[in-house]
Amino acid sequence: MLKVTKNILKRVYFPRLAGAHKYDFGLLLIIGGGEFYTGSPALAGMAAFRTGVDMVQILAPTRAANIIASFSPNLAAYPLEGKWLNKKNLPNLILMTEAAKQVAPDRAAIVIGGGLGRSEETKEAVLEYFRGLSPKGDSPRVVIDADGIHAVAKNPEILKGKNFLLTPHAFEFFVLTGKEVKNLSFEEKIKVVKEEAARLGCVILLKGEKDIISDGKEVAINETGSPYLTVGGTGDTLAGICGSLLAQGIEPFLAAQAAAFINGKAGGIAAKKFGPGLTATDLIEAIPEVLK
């Protein structure tokens, strides 16, 4: 079993050489948001930028996209027709995914799920989108979070053979696997996460007081964090950091470890300053201190 330490950063960050070009360090597509939850994709995008990705494109239903575009000039938000994700949006999603893969070969990644909602129409659209992704050898790396986990729970077989990293908390893990881990001992949680990662054929990052990360073969434990990270939005920042590292070419198991460390460490730094007043944007602003 591996314990994640600051040394993980040396395995994912290297000096940038002169002559580097845009997209050498990744293009991240973030698919999320809806009529009510508009901040989730923005938080993921801002955290992704702070952790080094070159470009973020956010694909969101119209109201969410318009609000997100007003948050920061750094965020490029493309409006999808409708109040929530639906099958009519699939041609645009596939087109923009394929365009990302062409613009940034081997450096395109996706984050999907935050704020999408859990309507049956949206869940089916997510599954149909995943069916349209190429097999593992040519598939972009994907982080599935929040409502995206509720969607794949309808058909977990869709996870096999693709570069998927899932970031559930305890209830989402139950929705995905049918396994209740909340009241298990820590050792029992480790065993269940490893077994489910192997069964589903993906990397799982189970969020908690101590994060448990497994690819079904190995297990890593991250202990950074703070009780104040219960505030809304810190799961979105974690998903964005995961996506940023995937887009920079880091494989999913290693990316999950580094992202958990960065998110927890930045949250701890912000918590010392803000205490119970901590917000997800405070965490994002603390990321550069972690990466020094």
Annotated binding residues for (6S)-NADPHX, written as ranges, equal 115, 169, 236
In 3-state terms, what secondary structure has residue 16? coil
Q: How far apart are the first and last CA of the chain?
A: 27
Q: Which residues, including other chains, have CB under 8 Å from residue 254's CB and lie 6 or more apart?
A: 8, 11, 12, 245
Q: What are phi and psi of 209, to 5 degrees?
A: -55, -40
Kindly state the tokens that stand for 66: 């318009």
Amino acid identity of 48? A
Token pair, residue 106, equals 């081997």
Q: Which residues contact 76 (CB under 8 A, 6 or more apart)?
A: 55, 56, 57, 58, 69
Any idea which residue has 């917000």 for tokens? Answer: 279
Structure tokens at 83: 């109040």
In the annotated binding site, the residues are 115, 169, 235-236
Binding-site residue positions for AMP: 235
Report the C-alpha gap between 202 and 147 in whole angstroms: 17
Q: Is 135 exposed, middle or buried (0-12, 13-18, 19+ CB in 10 A)?
A: exposed
In 3D space, the residue among 242, 195, 249 whose CA is nearest the CA of residue 222 turns out to be 242
Q: How far apart are CA 23 and CA 25, in angstroms?
A: 5
CA distance 27 to 96: 11
Q: What gap in Å lies between CA 274 and CA 192, rounded to an integer?
A: 35
Residue 62 structure tokens: 């119209």
